[in-house]
Amino acid sequence: MEILTPKATRQSTRLRVQILLTVTSLDRIHPLSAKCVALVVSAQGCGFRASQALPLETPVLLSDLPGGGSASGRVASCLPLGNDGKQFLIGVALYNHGNVWGIADPPKDWNCVSPPTTSSSNMAKNAAAKSKDVWPYNLFSNHGETHPGRK
């Protein structure tokens, strides 16, 4: 008898990187505050190397990210690297998905809002200029102010 299960699919592309960050556990029972290296990142989270294990579901704060930002998440996995128990690969699922990693050209499946281009900012300026011809802006003269009592 064959059992069919749905194929696991990734929510977004993973990228191999080396990003320095500070990881702080938000759980007083499992304290950790250390400089770590993110080895794998995606829009949903990351995998970083640490010298201490953390239990699953531990809330963490990732700070000193590129651009000076920070992000929070929870430990989704914790695997020992090697047999000596000195290094761990900790997977973190972000609470708010996005490109917190400062990746210049993120994969399309990250669904990140790209910064406005020059043409879109020009279109916004043109729209603003056209709106000045519409009420209530068209009630005023474009020739400057004059005082009714002065000549």
**What are the domain boundaries of the chain?**
15-94
Burial class (CB in 10 A: 0-12, 13-18, 19+), 22: middle
Average pLDDT over residues 52-78: 94
Please, are residues 40 and 19 in contact by the beta-carbon 8 Å criterion? no
- Say which CATH superfamily domain 15-94 falls into: predicted glycosyltransferase like domains (2.40.10.220)
Backbone φ/ψ region at 125: left (φ over 0), alpha (ψ -120 to 50), beta: alpha
> Is the pLDDT at 72 greater than 60, yes or no?
yes
Q: Please say whether the dihedral angle defined by the alpha carbons of residues 54, 57, 59 and 65, taken in this order, is positive or negative.
A: positive
pTM for the complete prediction? 0.67
For residue 37, give both structure tokens: 């290296």
> What pLDDT is attached to residue 118?
41
